[in-house]
Amino acid sequence: MQKTAILIDGAYFLARYRKVYEDRDGNDARTVSRTLFGMALDHLKQLERPKDALYRIFFYDCAPLEKVFERPVSGSPIDFGASASAVFRRELHNELKRVRKLALRLGRLAERGEWVLKRHALQDLRNGALRWEHLRDEHFELDLRQTQVDMKIGLDIASLAHKRLVDQIVLVTGDADFVPAAKLARREGIDVILDPMWQGISPALQEHVDGLQSVCPRPGSPQPPRSASEPPAGDA
């Protein structure tokens, strides 16, 4: 039987989630998990494939940072492991581990212990709306970067293609860094569908996929009723 694998760039998905699913709580891990699974089934429906054509859903993300740092201006401590975003990430990962046919692939957050100005603060400094002596802790953010995530996605695409485990890959991202992996899969005869969740993408990325398909609500359009393809975690 023909099989479809769905690979989801977690950071990208979560950023777009809050824009396209405006009627759903983006801070509720169970809701996000159920929506993600429903989105995967909606892809199969659009591609006119049965549910058992799903090979696996791969979700790529980073474990939250579990460190205490001193704030850049006040010097007071801040525990990143206790932050709302870290708590949500842990809850989401736990929910996803219980979803049938879903593999959680975790990279890590690399930090250099450096605080950098947020973009809006830098712009305010440039246009004179903010003065250097008025900078506060909230104008800075820790310099964090994902590592291993892109590599894991690329390796999984290569493995799926070379072992002929699937004949189709749906890639949920908007990152042009995956062009080489998409090209490799297509050379192996894999049908590569890109779901940018209605985000604009680069011409280079669009050139090296076999089609675009976004199944989530389009931003600005009326929100449809919740899909019946959102079963409880563990069902398929």
Cα 194 versus chain centre, distance: 13
Task: Give the global pTM.
Answer: 0.84
> What integer pLDDT is reported at residue 28 of this predicted model?
96
Q: What tens-digit pLDDT sequence spans the chain (236 residues)?
A: 699 999 999 999 999 999 999 999 999 999 999 999 999 999 999 999 999 999 999 999 998 888 888 999 999 999 988 999 999 999 999 999 999 999 999 988 777 768 899 999 999 999 999 999 999 999 998 888 777 888 899 999 999 999 999 999 999 999 888 889 999 999 999 999 999 999 999 888 889 999 999 999 998 776 655 543 444 444 43
Length, in residues, of the chain: 236
115-130 CB burial, b ≥16 within 10 A, e <16: bebeeebeebbeeeeb
> What integer pLDDT is reported at residue 142 of this predicted model?
85
Which residues are CB-contacts of 121 (< 8 A; sequence separation ≥ 6)? Answer: 130, 135, 139, 140
> What integer pLDDT is reported at residue 225 of this predicted model?
52
Distance spanning both ends of the chain, measured CA to CA = 17
Task: Provide the 3-class DSSP secondary structure of residue 134.
Answer: helix
Task: Provide the 3-class DSSP secondary structure of residue 224.
Answer: coil
How far is the C-alpha of 154 from the C-alpha of 183, rounded, in Å? Answer: 11
The H or E element spanning position 140 is strand 140-147
CATH numbers and ranges of domains, the chain? 4-109+146-212 (3.40.50.1010)
Pairing of β 102-117 and β 140-147: antiparallel
In 3D space, the residue among 234, 235, 171, 232 whose CA is nearest the CA of residue 34 turns out to be 232
Q: What share of the chain is helix, strand, coil (3-state, %, to 5)?
A: 40, 25, 35
CB neighbours of residue 200 within 10 Å:
7
Which residues are CB-contacts of 27 (< 8 A; sequence separation ≥ 6)? Answer: 84, 88
